[in-house]
């Protein structure tokens, strides 16, 4: 098992699972979500709509994760998870940890071995990168030590600053 930190675009990753920093609607948004739907094509959104028409009629709850096809992306599946919005007055760390844990569990349920994560919640949801890196890395480390099919987790960061922060917090 291994954790890698790279700088780049998550939609270009050749892995089994690309994790999407989605929103509760599952119907697309900005940032990573926008890039995944743009590059992955309409098949992903079509599956998201089906999820909304079925079990997820009220959307995906913060911290939960669900898989769809990866469409035209060089991956087998996209696992959509909803990060918490940063709050200075309320500690939502456990929800950010849930995103990572549940995404890996969904990936493992599919038999995936390689998974790429963006820095969930650190864009539009304003979570400070230092804190997000600590929560993401410790949760993934813990989950990789459990009984899982996942052997490689790659964090794909946008820009040198985010890359350096994740790098410096790798245990
Ligand atoms: P959230 O709504 O969970 O905050 P965002 O998609 O707005 O999610 O941002 C999450 C992080 O992903 C931010 O640090 C942002 O800079 C980064 N990001 C945006 N686009 C990409 C991409 N194509 N590949 C990797 N990281 C990206």
Gap between the Cα atoms of 140 and 153, Å rounded: 8
Confidence of residue 171 (pLDDT cuts 50, 70, 90): confident
What pTM did the predictor assign?
Answer: 0.98
Q: Is the dihedral of CA 99, 93, 33, 40 positive or negative?
A: negative
Q: What is the 3-state secondary structure (H, E, C) of 126-153?
A: CCCHHHHHHHHHHHHHHHHCCCCCCCEE
CA distance 85 to 136: 15
pLDDT > 90? residue 1: no
Q: Is 147 a catalytic residue?
A: no
pLDDT digits (tens, 9 = 90+) for 122-169: 999 999 999 999 999 999 999 999 999 999 999 999 999 999 999 999
From 124, 155, 158, the mutation candidate for ligand 1 (largest count of ligand atoms within 8 A of CB) is: 158
**HSE-up (13 A, CA, CB side) for residue 27:** 9
Which atom of ligand 1 sits closest to the CA of residue 23? 2
Q: Ligand 1, residue 10: give the atom nearest the CA.
A: 24
pLDDT digits (tens, 9 = 90+) for 2-25: 999 999 999 999 999 999 999 999
The single residue of 33, 98, 147, 164 carrying the catalytic annotation is 33
For domain 2-168, which architecture applies? 3-Layer(aba) Sandwich (3.40)
Spell out the domain ranges in the chain. 2-168
Q: How do residues 73-113 score in pLDDT, each as one tens digit?
A: 999 999 999 999 999 999 999 999 999 999 999 999 999 99
């Amino acid at each position: 098992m291994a954790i890698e930190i790279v700088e780049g675009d998550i939609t270009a990753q050749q892995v089994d699972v690309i994790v999407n920093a989605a929103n509760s609607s599952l119907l697309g948004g900005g940032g990573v979500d926008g890039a995944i739907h743009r590059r992955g094509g309409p098949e992903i959104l079509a599956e998201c709509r089906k999820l909304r028409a079925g079990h997820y009629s009220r959307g995906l709850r913060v911290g939960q994760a669900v898989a769809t096809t990866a469409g035209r992306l060089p991956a087998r599946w996209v696992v959509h998870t909803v990060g918490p919005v940063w709050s200075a007055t309320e500690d939502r760390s456990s929800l950010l940890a849930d995103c990572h844990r549940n995404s890996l569990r969904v990936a493992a349920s599919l038999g995936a071995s390689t998974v790429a994560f963006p820095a969930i919640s650190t864009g539009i949801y304003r979570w400070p990168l230092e804190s997000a890196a600590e929560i993401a890395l410790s949760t993934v480390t813990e989950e990789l030590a459990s009984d899982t099919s996942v052997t490689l987790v790659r964090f794909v960061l946008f820009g040198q600053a985010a890359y350096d922060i994740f790098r410096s917090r790798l245990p």
